[in-house]
Structure 1
């Protein structure tokens, strides 16, 4: 059958349009499939999360106001929990203490320190007193957790080797906020709202959620595998937060399906916004060569890419830093109080800058200081990655 010139052109154009659509589909980035919604939950929205190169991430962001997930990426990936498992340890410890759920004074101090400052000794105490892995088994049953498992066989004391997923972590927070007895909710969430800058092992806890959003927020962080390190305390750091009785790398004889014990992990979990509007759970696996500062930066960049309803971004500009043992001070001079020390090479948020004491780090000389709102103090601009003494686009304090 012959086709007219007009008809032939129309057919040709339709084929071009179809080819363009198919090319667009082929070029579209792949996304992790969202798990089916649990009963009573709205279907999950799937968006592109910015994951830095070399990082494996499990992400779930749940908006409690709309009852929907705004972000999900590998939400059911089981990851070594490090100190995030302290949420389960805390809930199990409180479970049968009704109706007031009160704790003796010494136990209350231990409980608070475990949640606020991620104290490992406190977690180990509860783990030993309350049955070890049986804690995890009980909480799986009580909360209906789907991807959670206790430490691998042969590591009964290593509570930080418990596997958790981002999806299960959202379920834990939803229980706390929507179903837990009010005294339990107030006790646990109250402690998470008072998360200290430093863990008892000397690691800075202000990464992820606290670095990316203004308050109110409540957080339980986790880290493991970064060796001996302390940037905000004189206390010697543990070999790995949440590792258990001893430092641990990859264990011999583990089955391929077991949780990864080799790569370094850095996690941020909690709530953001007024009324704990949004639950955020971000788990990251990073290479064994990743420094704490680099892992900190990777996690922050990922969290900043998320759609978090109710979250307010802090004002300022992010800059890279260089050097080791860089002090954050209370004022713009080297005689003022040291507030903390930056993890080497970490990216920092700078709100404003002003002139102060001239500092020399040959061959550099600089009298400008940058204000870091996350740390509440100043750092000399010498250690900020910028070609000029005064930072471009940063207002005066």
Structure 2
């Protein structure tokens, strides 16, 4: 019986990380990657769309800085509501010609916006190539000054900040509960729905040298933030090798 149980355990599939990524070379104008159109929930990457919509429709706002630099959820939630909830995603996806981006089924859950690695690259290309200088300078300036510690206590230094030199970056995470070792004394509380996520998500995105890099990942339930962050950094090192 023990032998049968052992064989059954060995035969059972081992949960693995699901990853899609895209790297766009701004010199050769070529895109390489894997599963670039795979829809994955955005977590905090949607904050870039929130910033674009705010700047282009309503003007600059002091809440954009903490939303982008320390990934502040409260600032994002307020700007999300003020800019039309889920319709913000509909409008920006149409304006930026995003192929795979969809608003969340429940309009209050902005972190459940669907994105793909391809579309996140297009968002950065829009900022760098098509957006008005004021929009580009504001958003990319904040991403260039993104801090190591997020407002909710999570360490943002995985992925691009660890694998490349001086990137402008925006990270995303969801489903890890509360940080085991917060990097701030009093982390700001996170929105409650993130605690119900079954598959932890961890994303890194941004620019380094002449490349735009996006790595989106989903991890087996129960994966620690530290373990997921290590996986994302390793993958980022692989896809950015000889590029950044």
TM-score (norm 1): 0.56
Higher Cα Rg, which structure: 1
Partner of 2:171: 221
Question: Residue 304 of structure 1: CA displacement?
Answer: 1.0
Partner of 1:176: 127
Give the count of matched residue pairs: 229
Unaligned runs of 5+ in 1: 1-52, 250-260, 312-397
Normalized per residue, which structure has more helix? 2
Partner of 2:55: 94
Partner of 2:44: 83
**Are the equivalent residues in 2 in contact too, given 1:133–1:159 (CA < 8 A)?**
yes
Find the aligned partners of 1:147 and 1:141 in 2 and give their Cα distance.
11
Aligned counterparts, 1:306-325, within 5 A = 306-307=239-240, 310-311=243-244
Question: Residue 231 of structure 1: CA displacement?
Answer: 2.8
Partner of 2:183: 232
* Deviation digits for residues 238-270 of structure 1 (CA, Å, limit 9, x no counterpart): 45xxxx453442xxxxxxxxxxx5200110000
Evaluate the alpha carbon distance shift between residue 89 and residue 54 of structure 1 in structure 2; reply closer, same or farther with a 3 A threshold.
same
Secondary structure in structure 2 of the residue aligned to 1:306: helix
TM-score (norm 2): 0.89
Aligned counterparts, 1:76-225, within 5 A = 76-97=37-58, 101=59, 103=60, 107-108=61-62, 110-152=63-105, 155-215=106-166, 217-225=167-175
Find the aligned partners of 2:107 and 2:200 in 1 and give their Cα distance.
20
Find the aligned partners of 2:160 and 2:187 in 1 and give their Cα distance.
25
- Larger RCO: Structure 1 or Structure 2 (Cα < 8 Å, ≥ 6 residues apart)? 2
Partner of 1:361: none
Find the aligned partners of 1:236 and 1:191 in 2 and give their Cα distance.
20
Which residue among 57, 77, 81 is the counterpart of 2:19?
A: 57
Secondary structure in structure 1 of the residue aligned to 2:66: helix
Question: Residue 236 of structure 1: CA displacement?
Answer: 3.5
**Are the equivalent residues in 1 in contact too, given 2:151–2:187 (CA < 8 A)?**
no
Secondary structure in structure 1 of the residue aligned to 2:201: strand
* Deviation digits for residues 18-67 of structure 1 (CA, Å, limit 9, x no counterpart): xxxxxxxxxxxxxxxxxxxxxxxxxxxxxxxxxxx711011000000110
Normalized per residue, which structure has more strand? 1
